Structure formats: C-alpha cells, structure tokens
Amino acid sequence: MENENKETFGDFGMAKAMKFLNIPYYHFWNIDIKPISPSIFLELGLKNAQKHITVSTNEVEQKLYAELVFLEVLKDRDLRMWQERYLGTERPFRGRVDFVFTPNQVTIETPYLVVSEAKKEDFEQGWGQCLMAMKTCLMLNEKEEKIFDMLGIVSTGEFWQFGKLTVDNQFYKTIGYTLAQPDILLGILDYMFSLSEQNMTK
C-alpha cells in the first residue's frame, strides 16, 4: 500500500492504467486524414536532425524529431508547446510529461489540450504513462469547468500513435504511423490541433 501511495503516472503501463481507470478495452480511432505536404524548413530540419541522432533508442535525441514536427503544425496556431512539465492532483495522478500543449499563454495552466510522451520503443509503457497524464489533464480541466475530450500522442520520434480519452472514459487509439509519412503525420496533427482550438472556446 505504501508503494502504491508513492506512484506517479510514469509508473503505469497501458494494461495497468486501463485497469486502474476502469477502461475494459480501447476503440480503434479512425481519423479522416487530409495529408499536408511538409515545408522545406521541416524537410531540411529532419534531414539535419539525422546527423545528430546517433542511437535510435535515445529518448532525448528522438525528441528532436517530435519538436520539429510539432513546431511545423503550430506555426500558424495560437497554441503553446511546453516541455518536461510537472502536472498533478492527488496521487497517482501526478508526474512529468514530455510535451503538453495549451493556449498561447505566459504560464502553464488549464485548459490542457494535448499531451505527448516520448518513448524509446516501449509503446505499452508509453501509453500507460500517456493515459494517466490524459486523465490527470481531464481532472484539472474539469476543476475549472473546462470539459472536453483529452488528446494524447506517444512517439519514438520516428514512429507515432495518437489517442483520445473522452469525458465518459472511453479510450480511442490509432494505428501507428512513421516519420517516413510526414504528410500523414502533419494531417493528423493538424486535425488534433484544430480540434484543440475548438475546445479552447468551450
């Protein structure tokens, strides 16, 4: 019991998180993707990043890919990307997230719109952590009467999956996509951030 009281959402794998959150199964999330061609800036950025990423399982280096892709989608949006931020309420709904997105504001506060976790190759662990972070954000948003579905991303930088945790506790998850499909990734992220901007007005 003492160890359970010390847990954060980083201690959860996907199966453990789903059981803890009383989610019996996940739904397949089929997003109507409208591909978006990457800019020359992104193409060059990804090409240059390859020179600095020496080990495919290095989480810190792999985040560079994610940063470049996120910045591409955010360039015309009034949203802000925060990295390595602590979020939390009561345990185990607390911990550090790799990326969290909010409206463009000076301080990190609700509404939280999207969370993203960078993992080496362990998507089971990545989704467990992301699910707990998504639920934490839902709880924090609801305290401020900002009630909408929470979006999540798990990525190795080169391989990506996308998810949604609804206000009625339903979990949706896509198939995986790769960095070799930049137009598809950008299309999905454009959809997610457009939805986030709509949620900001609720």
Residue 122 phi, psi (nearest 5): -95, 90
With 0.85 as the threshold, say if the pTM is over it. Answer: yes
| Residue 77, phi-psi category: left (phi > 0), alpha (psi -120 to 50), beta (remainder) | beta
Q: pLDDT tens digits for 4-56?
A: 456 788 899 999 999 999 999 999 999 999 999 999 999 999 999 888 776 55
Domain boundaries, the chain: 2-200
Q: Residue 63: what pLDDT? A: 87
CA 80 to CA 75: how far, in whole Å? 10
> For the segment 123-178, what is each residue's pLDDT rounded down to a tens digit?
999 999 999 999 999 999 999 999 999 999 999 988 999 999 999 999 999 999 99
- Record the tokens describing residue 189, joined without a space: 């992220």
Class of domain 2-200: alpha beta
